[in-house]
Amino acid sequence: MYEDRSNKRTGKIVTFILILIIGTGAFFLGTVYGSLNSEEIIDNGTPVVGDSSFDKLYEVRDVINSQYYQDIDQDALVEGAIKGMVNSVGDPYTVFFNAEEYKEFNDDGDGNYVGIGVIVGIKEDRIVVITPFEGSPAFEAGLRSGDFITKVEGVEYTGTELDKAVSVIKGEEGKPVTLTIVRNGEEQDITIVRASITIVNVESEMLEGDIAHVTMLQFSNNTAEQVREAMEELRDQGAKGYILDLRGNPGGFLDEAVDVASLFVEKDKTILYTLDKYDQKKEYRSYGGSFIDAPLVVLIDGGSASASEVVSGALKDYEAATLIGQQSFGKGIVQMVYQVGDGEAVKVTVSSYYSPDGINIHGEGIAPDIEVEIPEDAEMPLTMENDTQLQKAVEVLREKMQ
């Protein structure tokens, strides 16, 4: 029996691409999400505030406070200084959250949002659409995976300005926002009305009698348990082969990814390991599951990122599944969230992660075993009749099941 360890964990590791279910909050995955305090931050030998190198900061503060012609909001001054310091690192995944942003970050893990329902990341210093959720305002307005968002409400934003762009895209339910996108070299404006969005993370169905199709939209709270339950139910219905569909799945909590991979990997085998700047290695091992010998195909595409790549990479290395589709996104770094101040936090890239064979896919992605493209003129949403990747998955499973 697959053990449920959800009550034994003290924190959540989120391994995501810079993910934004754009709404009232920003969903940043790729993060070790825990409850850590400032003392733990200091232990690694990093200089703390109070070092003489920060004297200039205090001098500037004193000049502004004494000379600026109006009163200064001290909280805003401190927050601006902190955000400037964090942004100067030059890593879009390293971010400071004020109290409101941190609450939104935590709330976003539950699958309920107010926004346009699209996941975005950074590619070539541009904001790129990873996937719009089917049926969301973004999807209905015509936003598609691979679109580059160059402007929000007429203002240009680069990839490193993702936070700023998102702060403009955020808004109230029922209010419109206009995005300027580039698709196939052509620029166009798309106006999208924000709405309340509820995401069902796991969907399942039987295909052709004895083939199970399980789709994961993201790795949020308890999705691994939902996947296990779905697969067991389909097995009880006569499933003999399984398709795990990770297309458009941007990632999520790392422990959920380890749990999903464990369904198909023998106990104690490495699912992934991480290395930090001090060459400290941490391994994540399989808990063992009840589908280790089951015929399995995994569907991936350019929207499969981070936690999806953890699962795909482990299953590929162990030859536990055949990967079908297109090259995955390529996010192979991990972040940790440290609580600071009063209900605030800073998210910092802390390590790179590697597949069991020692492969880091950051910036590269995972190549499928069998590459299959979706025709450009395919009608959305995809069905069995026009989903060429799903059709190939069924074909390959039939051969595996013989």
Q: Cα separations (Å) of 277 from 18, 28, 35, 313, 326?
A: 21, 22, 21, 23, 31
Distance CA 212, CA 312 (A): 18
Q: Which of 317, 328, 347, 392 is catalytic?
A: 317
Residue 207 in contact with residue 384, Cβ under 8 Å? yes
Reference 215, options 232, 201, 195; nearest CA is: 201
Whether 317 is catalytic is yes
Distance CA 393, CA 208 (A): 12
Q: Which of 204, 220, 306, 328 is catalytic?
A: 306
Whether 107 is catalytic is no
Q: Classify the phi-psi angles of 248: left when phi > 0, otherwise alpha if psi is within -120 to 50, otherwise beta.
A: left
Task: Using DSSP bridges, classify how beta strands 370-371 and 322-325 pair: parallel, antiparallel or unpaired.
Answer: parallel
Is the sign of the CA dihedral 264, 280, 354, 35 positive or negative? positive
Residue 125 in contact with residue 119, Cβ under 8 Å? no
Residue 250 in contact with residue 305, Cβ under 8 Å? yes
Distance CA 287, CA 265 (A): 8
Which run of H or E residues covers position 334? strand 333-340
Distance CA 206, CA 367 (A): 27
Give the CA count within 13 Å in the CB-facing half-sphere of 278: 7
Whether 331 is catalytic is yes
Give the CA count within 13 Å in the CB-facing half-sphere of 319: 1
Task: Using DSSP bridges, classify how beta strands 241-245 and 296-300 pair: parallel, antiparallel or unpaired.
Answer: parallel
Got the DSSP string for 84-112? Answer: HHHHTT--TT-EEE-HHHHHHHHHGGGSE
Residue 173 CB partners (closer than 8 Å, separation 6+) = 114, 194, 195, 196
Q: Classify the phi-psi angles of 4: left when phi > 0, otherwise alpha if psi is within -120 to 50, otherwise beta.
A: beta
Catalytic positions are 306, 317, 331
